Amino acid sequence: MAKTVAMVGTDAVAEAMRQINPDVVPAYPITPQTAVVEKYAQMVADGIVDSEMINAESEHSAMSAAIGAAAGGARVMTATSSQGLALMWEMLYIASGMRLPVVMANVNRSLSAPINIHCDHSDSMGARDSGWIQLFSENAQETYDNVLQAIRIAEHPDVLTPVMVLLDGFIISHSIDRFDLIDDDVAKAFVGQYTPRNSLLDAANPSCWGAFDGLGGYFFEFKRAQAEGMLKAPAVIREVGKEYAEISGRRYDYFASYRMEDAEFVIVAAGSAAGTIRTAVDIFREKGLRVGLLKLRMFRPFPQQELVEALSHAKAVAVFDRSDTFAGDLGGPIFVETRSAFYEAEKRPQLMNFIYGLGGRDLPMSLVNQAIEMFKDAGSAEQKKRIVYLGLRD
């Protein structure tokens, strides 16, 4: 039987890792991810898991060791945050370019400067084009569920692409939340055994990894093949989600819709903000305003067509971004992609962008209400402003 626990979000990552019991876990501590590393180190120390841990001397080396271990045929997991992810940046491309199915939890935290340890999505958004699949989580339950599914997605032969599971720093990582664990044997059966297609440690078949492409070589073809993995990922993510629903009762897809059937005004958001927004949706519904929420789970690959379809009947769409692109008045990353997705659509709703919560700034209900009041008038003469920094001090 499934066990209900009350644990912090970092424990949700560690519990999923315990059930997966990866071969190698290289890691370096960074707030707010540290608790994952500590918890897992304790599990190793207690003999609960038999993973080999590498206490790397930096996140760059942690990801480098993850690459080496995965190329050696091991199932590899790690976790990071913020500056740590930024330090791994160079190696993120190499992990995905080598098609290594590494799974990493990233506890979302802002990037310096000024230094700030709290939540926003600028770290993972900075890595959005590094060739990793990115799955957002709303709470500890989704974090746990996403980590288990990530292994299956990453290792799928059609995909062979690393997966980053995202959880909001402190809001999810350090808050005690109630969630259900799948039975150990069910979880183990779900993730299964990992058999790599190639390995450095195949004595009979020595192999060369990370070869030099030379001049006028095959780099372009390699990258196209890599893009293919990302193109095939959505079908696999949907399939794995369905299979997961069978063992957990919890459904996962590219995004989750809330009161969307007849919604005229839709908020698109990712991560923990969805909970607050859902409550705001209920309140406005009671007032007679047809509001809905589209909670984005899969940011990479971006579910363009499905998103457009889901939003096609809306009059106005508000995209909530917990990071900025600093590209002039282009808006936040989710907004940019959502707007781009609508370019070829016949029916385009009014789109507004609300940038919120940078550096851990709270998103209280009052701000969500304020945003809904603003964007329900979007497109009117009075409401021309497209990008709003929500909750900024004067």
d(CA 261, CA 248): 25
HSE at residue 151, side-chain half, CA atoms within 13 A, is: 30
**Pairing status of strand 133-136 against strand 176-181:** unpaired
Q: How far is CA 351 from CA 55, 177, 275, 343, in A?
A: 46, 33, 22, 12
Side chain identity at residue 117, one-letter code? I
Least distance to another protein from the beta carbon of 48, Å? 16
Instruction: Choose which of 34, 51, 81, 106 interacts with another protein (CB under 8 A).
Output: 51
Instruction: Determine, following the binding rule CB under 8 A, whether residue 191 of this chain makes contact with another protein.
Output: no
Six-digit token string for 178: 């109630």
268: Cβ–Cβ under 8 A, 6 or more apart, which residues?
A: 294, 296, 307, 311, 317, 318, 319, 320, 334, 338
Least distance to another protein from the beta carbon of 201, Å? 6
Least distance to another protein from the beta carbon of 221, Å? 10
Least distance to another protein from the beta carbon of 199, Å? 8
Residue-wise over 182-217: b if at least 16 C-beta within 10 A, else e? beeeebeebbeebebeebbeeeeeeeeeeeeeeeee
- One character per residue 196-225, x = contact with another protein (rule: CB under 8 A): ----xxxx--xxxxxxxxx--xx-------
d(CA 342, CA 349): 9
Least distance to another protein from the beta carbon of 66, Å? 6
Helix (H, G, I), strand (E, B) or coil at 12: helix
d(CA 237, CA 1): 25
Instruction: Determine, following the binding rule CB under 8 A, whether residue 174 of this chain makes contact with another protein.
Output: no
Instruction: With residue 176 as reference, give the H or E element that holds it.
Output: strand 176-181
The nearer residue to another protein, 56 or 378, going by C-beta atoms, is 56
The nearer residue to another protein, 58 or 366, going by C-beta atoms, is 58
Least distance to another protein from the beta carbon of 130, Å? 14
Size of the site for another protein (CB under 8 A): 45
Site for another protein in 364-393 (CB under 8 A): none
Residue of 76, 83, 80, 23 lying closest to 52 (CA atoms) = 23
Instruction: Choose which of 73, 275, 359, 360 interacts with another protein (CB under 8 A).
Output: 73
Instruction: Determine, following the binding rule CB under 8 A, whether residue 52 of this chain makes contact with another protein.
Output: yes
The nearer residue to another protein, 23 or 306, going by C-beta atoms, is 23
The nearer residue to another protein, 12 or 43, going by C-beta atoms, is 43
Which range touches another protein (CB under 8 A), out of 72-80, 114-122, 171-179, 322-330? 72-80
Residue of 234, 152, 236 lying closest to 191 (CA atoms) = 152
- One character per residue 92-131, x = contact with another protein (rule: CB under 8 A): --x---x---------------------------------
Q: Which residues bind another protein (CB under 8 A)?
A: 23-24, 26, 50-52, 54-58, 60-62, 64-74, 76, 90-91, 94, 98, 200-203, 206-214, 217-218
